[in-house]
Chains A and B, each alone.
Chain A
Amino acid sequence: MKKAILSAATTVIVAMAFGLSRSSQARPAANGQNTSNGQYQVKIDNFSFGPATLTVPVGATVTWTNQDDVPHNVVSTDGKDIKSPVLDTDQKFAHTFAQPGSYTYYCSIHPKMTGKVIVQ
C-alpha cells in the first residue's frame, strides 16, 4: 500500500515537473519574437539588430538573418565567445544558448550596432 502511494506520488511529482518544464518552453520571449520550438529570430537590417534585446529560455537557439544590403557579423563583447562569419545579404548565423546569462554582442564591421541576448 505504502509502495503504491509512494510510486503514485512519484508519478504525480514527475508529471508536475514535466508539465512545468513544458510550459516554460511554451512561454513566449519577452519581445514576442517567433518562438516555436525554442527557435528565436533576430533580424539585421538598417545597421541595427532587431530586437536589440532578446530574452530567451536556456537551450534556445537564436538565428540572426542579415536583411541589410551590406555585410554584418555577430561578435561577443563580453568574452562569451560568439563569433559569426561575415554575413552577406540573406545569410544566417545560429547560436544555441546552453547557459543562462546576459550576452552582449556587436557587429565588428560597424561597431555602432550592438545587441543583447538575455538567457534565463
Chain B
Amino acid sequence: MRRQKEELILHNHNSDGVDRRGFLKCMAWAGTGALCVIKGGVLRSYSLSHPASLAASAPDGELAFVQISDSHMGFNKAANPDVVATLQAAVDKINAAPVEPAFLLHTGDISHLSKPTEFDTVDQVLKSAKAKQVFFVPGEHDVLEDNGQQYLERYGKTAKGAGWYSFDKKGVHFIGLVNVLNLKAGGLGTLGHEQLEWLEDNVKGLTASTPIVVFAHIPLWAVYPEWGWGTEDSAQALSYLKRFGSVTVLNGHIHQTMQKVEGNITFHTATSTAFPQPQPGTAPSPGPLKVPAEQLRSLLGVTSVDYVPGTHTLAIVDSSLA
C-alpha cells in the first residue's frame, strides 16, 4: 500500500487542462460533507474545511449541491457516542460555506435501526440547513423489519418501486437508486430486474451530452467484495449510461472516501457523518472504527483508495482535515 499526503488545492476551473484524474486528486472533503459544483457538465468538488480558499476562487458553477451520508442516527457506541453533534456539525459547515448548495443529497443509512425517532431527529437537524431541499436514498439500516415501508412513506412518496426516482436540475439528470433490499445470502448490493428496466427506460430519451448523476447507498463498483462493498448487477445499470459524456456515481456505505474513473464514469464514495470504518482488508470486519476522541473528526476526513480488480495493490491518498 502506498500512502501519500495530498495538498488541498482547488483547480482553477476556467482551465481546460484539468483531466478527470487530476480533478480527482484535488478532491478534498470535509469530515462531514463536500461541495460539488457542476460546470460544463463536469462535476468538481470543493472541501468545506477550507472556506477561505473556496471564497478566493469563487466557483461560478451552474449547479452546486452537497452529498452527506451515513448519519446512522441512533448509533451510540464507542466509535461516536454523539452522532447528533457530528451531523449538526456537518450542517453548520455546509451553512458556513460561501457557496450555498441548491440542495442536499443523502446517500443513505439515515437511521441506525430504522426507528421513527431516529428519522425524526435527522429531519430536525436538517431543518437547520439553509438548503431546504434534501433528496434521499435508503441504506440497509433504513429498511429494517418492514422492507422499507417506513422509508418510502417518509422519503419516497413520489418514487417508484422500492424508492428509485429521477429529477432534473439545470439540465443535469439525477437518478436515485435503491440497492439495499432483497439482499441474498453471501451476496452484495442488488438493484433487481424491475429497477434496471426502469433505469434503461428512464435514460433512453436523453441526449448523450446530458450530465448524469447517479446516487445509491452501496457502491456501484467492486470496492471490496469480501466486505460486501459492491453491487451484483451494477454492470448492467452502468451499461445504460456508457453512451453519456459525463456520468458521476455518488455512493456511501463504506464511511470513507474512494474514487475511481472508468471511461466517462466517475465513481465517488463519501465519508460518514457518524463514524469511520477501516480501509479494505485492514481489520477483521468493516464495523465502526474506534479512535481517540480528538481524532474522530479527522478520520471522518478524506481517504481515497483506488482498487484495481485482479491486483492486490491499493493506492491510498490521504487528505487530512486537521
Contacts and interface: CB of A to CB of B under 8 A. Distances in A.
Interface in B144-161: 144-145
Contact of A46 (B140, B188, B284): B284
Interface string B259-295: 0000000000000000000000000111110000000
A86 B183 contact: no
A111 B183 contact: yes
18 contacts: A47-B284, A47-B286, A68-B285, A69-B287, A70-B287, A70-B288, A71-B112, A71-B144, A77-B185, A89-B77, A104-B185, A105-B185, A108-B183, A109-B144, A109-B183, A111-B228, A112-B228, A114-B186
A46 B186 contact: no
Contacts, number: 56
Nearest to A78: B185
B285 A46 contact: yes
Interface string A72-112: 00000100000001101100000000000000111011111
B60 interface: no
B18 interface: no
| Interface of B: prevailing SS | loop
A46 B288 CA distance: 10
Chain B interface residue bracket vs A:
20 to 34
A84 B141 CA distance: 16
Contact of B79 (A46, A69, A108, A110): A69
Contacts of B140: 109-110
Interface string B176-193: 000000011111100000
A77 to B, nearest CB: 4
B287 A112 contact: no
A111 B285 contact: no
Instruction: Give me the 10 closest cross-chain CB pairs, A-B, nearest first.
Output: A106-B185, A47-B285, A46-B285, A111-B183, A69-B77, A77-B185, A112-B228, A46-B284, A86-B144, A111-B187
A92 to B, nearest CB: 16
Chain A interface residue bracket vs B:
20 to 34
A68 B287 contact: yes
A118 B188 CA distance: 26
A48 interface: yes
Interface of A: 46-48, 68-71, 77, 85-86, 88-89, 104-106, 108-112, 114
B123 interface: no
A105 B284 CA distance: 21
Contact of B226 (A46, A70, A109, A112): A112
A110 B228 contact: yes
Interface in B224-264: 226-228
A46 B188 CA distance: 18
A104 to B, nearest CB: 7
Interface in B118-152: 140-141, 144-145
B78 interface: yes
